Each structure stands twice: as structure tokens, then as C-alpha cells.
Amino acid sequence: MKALVAVVATLLAVTTPVLAQATWNGPTGAVLNPLPLTLEKGDFNTAAHYLNLNPANGMGTYSAAYGLMDNLEIGYTFADLAIGSHHGDPAYEVGTAQLDDTGDVQTNIIHAKYRFLEEGKWPAIAIGGVWYDSDDESTVDIYLTAMKTFEAHVPITAAVTLRSTEGSLTELLGVPGDRSFQWGGYLGVQVDPKLALGAEYYGQPRACAALDLFARWSIADDLTLDVALARLNRTYDNQLMAGITKVW
């Protein structure tokens, strides 16, 4: 965690709502947590994320989402998690019981999110579901998320998420087991219309919560870059995360 305080962003870009981009597993939001934001009706995005898992290998995710109607988005993500030569070592396999003999697991992820209250006097609120499937195993996460932006010289955004999960497949290394409720949180500042800096909390079942600090930079009106430093658990500390989202 010590290296988390060393995140430095020297980023410039153009105006765009920089929070309405893809998370690691597809829904629009921050890096780890979905937020009550949706793609505009008819908009389509594609995204790619990479999560370093030093000293093991890593995880890449590749996603696409579509604004099906006002306040409703759907999407698909393919996740490729690789532990590699550390397969079989319990120290490196927290929550990865589904790995094959090579230490890999590929997961298909489908999500849907509906925002039923837009932000105004009250916070924006959305409900969503994320379905994970790998070989003969599948699971569904259900979440409720709320967000409020406090206007100031530098706008501050706060969000909270409550997620029902079994912690299996590539659910960011939580330990699989009985379904439980996990909290998530996001706190960020809109440095200018081009740049957001944020910190996240992402609860995981039977494991310590994941934490990150990130910068989100709008390279162009329709292209956004994320860079983050994350602590996923006691084994995978100070890990680099990077992602890019393109809106079509």
C-alpha cells in the first residue's frame, strides 16, 4: 500500500464526462466499482483493461457495451486470468479455484444496468447484474449503486455500492463460497473537465478489500485512459491497472 501514495498524474485533455467509462468487468463506472451512469441511447463503447498480478502473470479484459434505451445499458466482457507458473501454490491462488492445469481461466461476462433515478436534489441510483460463466460454472452478482456530486471550485463525487456476490470466477480474487453482501465505495475529484482523480474500496468475500488510486484522462471526446495502482489482497499489493475506453 505504500506505493499507492506515489500515484502521480500529469494529464491534459479535452472536455468530456470522464466518469462514464468502462470498469474492469464492463459496466460504466470507475475502475473497480460500477456507478449509476449509463451509455446514452444508441451509444456503443469498447474497452480493454490489464491488471498486473506480479509476481504471477496478470488478467486482461475486453468488453463492449451498448445504450439500449434511456438509462439502460447492456454489455459483454471476456476476461483472461493467468497465474501461470504459480498454479498450485495457495499463496497465489486466492479465489482462483477454477484455474485449469496451466493456471489460466477464461470467463464470459454479461452485464445489464438500469438507472432509475438521475442525479438532482437526490443522488443518482442504479441497479445492475453481472453474470460470470466459465466452462460449467456460472454465478451472478447483483448490485445497487448511488452517487452524488458536490459542486465546488473542484467538484467532489462520492458513490457507494452494495453488491451480492459469491466471490467466484474472476471476481477480483475474493474467495468463493456462500453468497454475501459486500460494500464498495468511490471518492473522486474532477480536477477539470478533462481529468478525474479517485480512490476506491471494493469489498471481497472472505478476503481483504481491494483498494485503488486512479487517474482518468480524456485523450479525446470519445477516448479515455485509466491508470491505477491497486492493492487486491495481501499477495497482490501495489499492482498496476490500466484501461482504455472508446465510445462510438
What CATH number does the domain containing 243 carry? 2.40.160.40
Name the nearest CA neighbour of 147 among 29, 230, 41. Answer: 29
Predicted confidence at residue 221, as pLDDT, reads 87
Cβ within 8 Å of residue 241, ≥6 positions away: 24, 31, 49, 50, 51, 52, 212, 214, 226, 227, 228, 229, 230
Percent of the chain scoring above 90 in pLDDT: 57
Predicted confidence at residue 38, as pLDDT, reads 95
Q: How confident is the model at residue 63 (pLDDT cuts 50, 70, 90)?
A: very high
Predicted confidence at residue 144, as pLDDT, reads 98
Predicted confidence at residue 184, as pLDDT, reads 97
Q: How confident is the model at residue 26 (pLDDT cuts 50, 70, 90)?
A: very high
What would the pLDDT profile of 105-146 be if each residue is shown by its tens digit? 888 999 999 999 999 999 999 999 999 998 778 889 999 999
Domain that holds residue 76: 2-247
Burial letters 39-78, b for 16+ CB under 10 A, else e: beeeeebebebebbbeebbbbebebbbbbbeebbbbbebe
Q: Dihedrals φ, ψ of 14, to 5°? A: -115, 170
pLDDT higher than 80, residue 36? yes
What would the pLDDT profile of 190-228 be if each residue is shown by its tens digit? 898 889 999 999 998 877 889 999 999 999 989 999 999
- Alpha helices, DSSP H, located in 35-167: none
Number of domains making up the chain: 1
Predicted confidence at residue 57, as pLDDT, reads 79
The pTM of the full predicted model, rounded to 2 decimals, is 0.85
Percent of the chain scoring above 70 in pLDDT: 80
pLDDT higher than 90, residue 168? no
pLDDT higher than 70, residue 240? yes
Predicted confidence at residue 10, as pLDDT, reads 33
**What is the mean pLDDT of the segment spanning 17-30?**
83
Predicted confidence at residue 125, as pLDDT, reads 98
pLDDT mean across residues, the chain: 83
Q: How confident is the model at residue 91 (pLDDT cuts 50, 70, 90)?
A: very low
